[in-house]
Structure 1
Amino acid sequence: MQIAVLILFLLLGLPAMAESLDGYLGSDRCTGCHKDSAADWAGSHHAQAWTMPSRETIAGDFSGTAFHHDGMTARFQTGAEGGYYIDVTEKDGSQAEYQVHSVAGIDPLQQYLLEAGPGRLQSFDVAWDTEEGKWFHLYPDQTLPPSDGLHWTGPYKTWNARCAECHATGFRKNYDARRLSYASTQVEMGVGCEACHGPGKDHVAWADAWETTRTPPPANHGFPVDFTDPRQAVEQCATCHSRREANLDGNPVPGTRFHDAYTLALLRPGLYHADGQIQDEVYVYGSFLQSKMHARGVTCLNCHGAHSPDLKAEGNGLCSQCHSPAGNPDFPTLTAADYDSPAHHFHPEGSVGAKCQSCHMPERVYMGNDWRADHSFRIPRPDLSPVTGAPDACTACHGGQDAAWAAAQISAWYPDSRNRGRHYGEVLARGRADGASAAGDLTALAQDTSQPGIVRATALWLLERSNNPLSAARLTDLLRDPDPLVRAAAASLQRLAPLQERGKRLAAVFADPARNVRMAAARAMLGGTENRLPNGTARELQAAMAEWQDAMANRLDFPETHLQLGGVALTMRNMGMAASAFHEVVRLDPQRLDAWVMLARITAATKGRSAAAAVVAEALSANPEDPELLAAQAELEGKPAPQGDSE
């Protein structure tokens, strides 16, 4: 196999394989029999996740209202024939009118989707606050001219690429990288019955025949997902409620293993705090994996209604379904005790501090007004904040106090607590600061099977960043770990090993049961050769590499995909391919300075300093006054580097 050929196909936009959507019938086929579930679902956020514009679905004020932000003006109005329109005057003076194509969400905010290119839907950044009844900008602190990659017309706001698969049933992106256009399709707008249960054809065939045949139902009543299996139940919800990278085009058929369909984001800086608390919008699953509840078999459906938007109980009653003197026989390891009491929470009854969620599920606001709770259900540890730099639930409410005060209070309330020992957040914080000096503790954490898999995988990722080949040698046993997150991270770590050893260690991993692990092993072999592998192993590597190729081909509308392809091409010492990839990055996102810098370096090496200076000048036109680019320009022109302002 020629890896270079695979990369070339990717750069040219090789069509990716897609799963069949055979057997989908649409939610209307379900509601006739399942009336109660359908009634609950009809009022849910799932049902209204993506709708066509109408009087019933549009919440915003389109009566000629205007919104102004940072030199941009948006006017919202209805047309003579009843359509909904947004007239946008950008800060650079350009003006265009867009008809609202469709509507995203219903509460606490609603966004409007506009068609900005052939089949390409963009999420407009001015949204309607359904709680306060007003327009607001999702990113009020950002200055985003139309030339910015983060502008609402840019690649990060493309609905087809970033959002639609979790707002639709049976969605296919169908991106044409050659024509730079979309021909997206879906079985149904909104999250319908089959988005979770899977294609209904077999179930309906059994149900239609039952009156005459009385045939017992097939497994799972003809559906591919068994929601009585905790793993399947949680993974099916996680397909959307997670920060992840898709390996397939659009929605995988429900029941597809999560680690076949997606690559989960680990506890990386910018996404999570060092102790694993949510930081950016990470959509629950990565947090839940850290919880003791997940480890004990609790699923989303123990707390959330299966079809309705409602929780199983109100207030603290939700938690006291299990955390009470009666306990819950489904979870026998629970300590039966009265947790909904001042003797436990030490706050006045009925106060905010007396709510279980306040201490164990602190919230953050995303998208301007949407509060999301951390689902790691952690015990408050303000004593860790000085070490990890993470926030703590106590001082989030008691704003006039500090973490030391909060730690002292908890110590006084629980003087004999066993919950103030070492925490993985301390190790991850040190690993973020200096992976090399923390290598011993990171290694121990990765090997600690009592810790959540996402934590152990993050420790392996930090070890990989430290570039120490000894880590790869010490942790080969983790290539056989039960958790696919750990196995994938252990496979990636092997890229640090000498090539001959790498091939031997990964030989059994190319056929791992989880696609993510196979792809990680294939990526670790980039820049190597198959010549020394046995024939069977070489074929398995080829198959794993093809899976990785297919996953990348599904994301050719992402700037970050081409950035990765550029890095791969550099690994292969193919400067032409690397330059092509970095050119595509800056075409999609002119603010990606890392791509500009690499492009300038490659140009200098292959075409000379004057050609590289032209690249830097182009980069500066999109990023004026950037210090790194100005320094590069000065170096290429043989001038002293510009000095920053001094006080």
Structure 2
Amino acid sequence: MAKQTRTVLNRAALKPHHLFLFIIVFLWLSPFAQAKDILPKPPEYVGSETCTSCHAEAAEDWKGSHHALAWTTPSDETVVGLFDGRSFSHQGTTSWFSKEDGRFLIDTSDVKGGQRQYEVVGVAGIEPLQQYIVETEPGRLQSFDVVWDVEQNRWFHLYPDQELTADDGLHWSGPYKNWNARCAECHATGFEKNYDPKTEMYQSRQVEIGVGCEACHGPAQAHVEWAETGVPVDVTKWAGANDIGLLINLPSDDSAEAELRGYLAGTQQRLSRLSHTETQIQQCAGCHSRREPFEGGNPLPGTPFHDAYRLSNLREGLYQPDGQIEDEVYVYGSFLQSKMYANGVTCSNCHNPHTAEVKLEGNALCGQCHSPAGNPDFPTLALKDYDDPSHTFHVEGSKGAECKSCHMIERTYMGVDGRRDHSFRIPRPDLSLQTQAPNACNDCHDDKTYGWVADAVASWYPNSTKRGPHFSQILAKGRNDLRGQGEALVGLAEYDALPAIVRATALDMLVPLTTPALAARLEPLLSSPEPLIRVAAISIQRGAPETERSARLVGLLGDPVKAVRIAAARGFLGMRIAYMPDKMNQDLNIAMGEWQASLAAKADFPEAQLVLAGIGLTTRRMDVALNAFGEAVEMDPQLTQAWVMMIRIHDALGDRQAALETVQNALEKNPDDVQLNLMRADIGG
């Protein structure tokens, strides 16, 4: 890979891969890391084929499912696209798809250096589209942007409106389309990314491609031992295993024991008790969520979600102001907003986890609970007939009479893939008038105004109690006038009847407004039972005086949830602390180590390099900051904010020549950027 941007950096600076090596050495030499070697190890993976001999019915359901076919090797049985010599052109580039000696080939001009041929080495998915994976360098897998439309039997481009050159970070060959880093974890079982920042190469491996049995149920070595001998498993032999040798219990019977054991499979081997509902939901959420991973591959099944990931809140660009899906957010963040989640509904109440299909078709699925008969597992349900024109106000059997049309809006991603919102919201066209968030009614009646459908709904339900104040009214205003909505956002954060993800979003929005008074007022949220809220509340403490901030955050360094510990470690960055008691100092070192390890696991993410650069700025290590910004723009040359910071650092250090070279390099990649052109004029280039 080209190292052009690095020529303007301090030659004596600490390289990012040196920083990561330091992190690894730190972790290895710490007392905690040494102790880990004497602990029992988790069971090994045995592969799905081993499971099928005993679990034939589940295996038959799983075979051919979207989980089983999430990633397959190319063959006549798995490839559905037509590799018959046909071509596809897009934005001045052309790709040809052919087959030769049993190999599936893509010849494309959409690549650096002119025409190049790639062999398809992996197949992703089965319907409604199928993607193809190629190896651009040894070990580096990329998902090609021209994909096969299974329903219309055609090649199409995933991003038809984007005109990207081959050196753009968003190009199919760039870091954001890298299969090893961005996709493989949720398309494989027992995946390890194994990225080496020194060589910038991958040596990824997995137990099996596709989402196999052990992706959800955990490595089964100890379970097989139990099945073969009938002797209860020695739980002291296998880390985290229960008496039948599994790391996670996912019984199919919803009346199973109310509390199940879930084990933190990370560094401290803490025991975490999760309800059956949470155990199952969080296991699914590992892949069905928009989140930041802490590890370089699959966490062990049974690892609580917030020990493996940081969930994205209801940020602008991802969600509408009312929490409806906007970008592709993969279900979990939506579901956390729902009354279904609040009342103990699990994924398997609606979905067969082995077929990956819904259990019933049409309104019958919702009718399992929402009917005159109700469901004894959810005794608070109103017993009434919802599948009736008196409720739907649409002709029976029509699209408008389908529960999902009104309560699960659909948005299309990847060109042809319709995904449904899982917040199960009541349509509120009246809110659309205030927030401009879409609503289910106008999805169908797109020729009508928000006012027209709002009036229609009001006429159907004139005495409804469901049209009161809504958090979206504050979030929408806050997105346009943050300072003017400060007090209202504080009110959302403090209102404990709201879903945790909504309150955490309000806290995230308040960070730019934080002051000593606001930090003191919101201090109680540091003790919230919800990890999402504790994580977000930590950032508010940036407004507190340093002595008060450290006193408030120190207890969270030993929090039972890794996402909170990492957030607390970030909160301590740059603090000048003369003395801490041994236990607190140990907690700080461990939490810092976890944060560092999470960044090391994302060394191939431009976003992680920006975080490292920020650490360098905060700790006044300009060499670290320059190198990390340089790594970021090498991966994604369109990160203009990173170029700008490099120019400013060089200028502040008095190295005008380096600043000029940097701005010239930046403009080669971003010639129309106004700020960069102004900076060149200021520097005198």
Check whether TM > 0.5: yes
Structure 1 counterpart of 2:390: 343
Structure 2 counterpart of 1:239: 286
Q: Deviations over 1:144-183 (max 9, x none)?
A: 1111111111000000000000000000000000000000
2:282 alignment partner, SS class:
helix
Structure 2 counterpart of 1:62: 83
Contact 1:7 1:569 in 2 (8 A): no
Cα deviation, residue 607, structure 1: 3.6
Q: Which deviates more, 230-239 or 394-403?
A: 394-403
Q: Deviations over 1:76-123 (max 9, x none)?
A: 1111x2111101113777011111111111100001100011201000
Contact 1:6 1:549 in 2 (8 A): no
Structure 1 counterpart of 2:255: none
Structure 1 counterpart of 2:218: 198
1:596-611 alignment, distance < 5 Å: 596-611=643-658
In 2, the alpha carbon distance for the partners of 1:88 and 1:428 equals 45
1:293 to 340, 357, 365: 340
Q: Deviations over 1:285-313 (max 9, x none)?
A: 00000000000000110000020132111
1:521 alignment partner, SS class:
helix
Q: Is 1:73–2:94 an aligned residue pair?
A: yes
Residue identity in the other structure for 2:611 = Q
In 1, the alpha carbon distance for the partners of 2:14 and 2:201 equals 24
Contact 1:83 1:99 in 2 (8 A): yes
Contact 1:232 1:255 in 2 (8 A): yes
Residue identity in the other structure for 1:156 = Y
Q: Which deviates more, 561-570 or 48-57?
A: 561-570
Structure 1 counterpart of 2:53: 32
What number of residue pairs does the alignment pair up?
632
Q: Is 1:227–2:247 an aligned residue pair?
A: no
Q: Deviations over 1:383-418 (max 9, x none)?
A: 111322211111111011111111111111111111
Q: Is 1:123–2:146 an aligned residue pair?
A: no
Structure 1 counterpart of 2:404: 357
Q: Deviations over 1:177-230 (max 9, x none)?
A: 0000000010011000000000111211111113xx699999474322222500
2:67 to 30, 34, 46: 46
Structure 2 counterpart of 1:644: none
1:2-21 alignment, distance < 5 Å: 10=19, 14-15=23-24
In 1, the alpha carbon distance for the partners of 2:279 and 2:651 equals 52
Judged with a 3 Å threshold, the aligned counterparts in structure 2 of structure 1 residues 569 and 8 are, in CA distance, closer, same or farther, namely farther
In 1, the alpha carbon distance for the partners of 2:229 and 2:576 equals 56
Judged with a 3 Å threshold, the aligned counterparts in structure 2 of structure 1 residues 556 and 84 are, in CA distance, closer, same or farther, namely same
Residue identity in the other structure for 1:206 = W
Contact 1:380 1:392 in 2 (8 A): yes
1:507 alignment partner, SS class:
helix
In 1, the alpha carbon distance for the partners of 2:113 and 2:243 equals 58
Cα deviation, residue 33, structure 1: 1.2
Judged with a 3 Å threshold, the aligned counterparts in structure 2 of structure 1 residues 8 and 367 are, in CA distance, closer, same or farther, namely closer
Judged with a 3 Å threshold, the aligned counterparts in structure 2 of structure 1 residues 186 and 435 are, in CA distance, closer, same or farther, namely same
Judged with a 3 Å threshold, the aligned counterparts in structure 2 of structure 1 residues 313 and 181 are, in CA distance, closer, same or farther, namely same
2:119 to 95, 99, 106: 99
Contact 2:121 2:133 in 1 (8 A): yes
Contact 1:610 1:636 in 2 (8 A): no
Q: Please report the RMSD computed on the Cα atoms of aligned residues, expressed in angstroms.
A: 2.1
Structure 2 counterpart of 1:433: 480
2:119 alignment partner, SS class:
strand
Structure 1 counterpart of 2:260: none
In 1, the alpha carbon distance for the partners of 2:211 and 2:420 equals 22
Q: Is 1:459–2:506 an aligned residue pair?
A: yes
Q: Deviations over 1:23-64 (max 9, x none)?
A: 210000011111111011002000000000000000110111
- Where does the alignment leave 5 or more consecutive residues of structure 2 unmatched? 1-12, 236-240, 252-275
Contact 1:427 1:441 in 2 (8 A): yes
In 1, the alpha carbon distance for the partners of 2:291 and 2:126 equals 24
Cα deviation, residue 21, structure 1: 6.8
Structure 2 counterpart of 1:641: none
Contact 2:233 2:245 in 1 (8 A): no
Judged with a 3 Å threshold, the aligned counterparts in structure 2 of structure 1 residues 490 and 136 are, in CA distance, closer, same or farther, namely same
Q: Is 1:303–2:340 an aligned residue pair?
A: no
Contact 2:17 2:197 in 1 (8 A): no
Judged with a 3 Å threshold, the aligned counterparts in structure 2 of structure 1 residues 544 and 214 are, in CA distance, closer, same or farther, namely closer
2:556 alignment partner, SS class:
coil
1:329 to 360, 367, 376: 376
Cα deviation, residue 22, structure 1: 4.1
2:185 to 159, 165, 175: 165
Structure 2 counterpart of 1:645: none
Residue identity in the other structure for 1:98 = Y
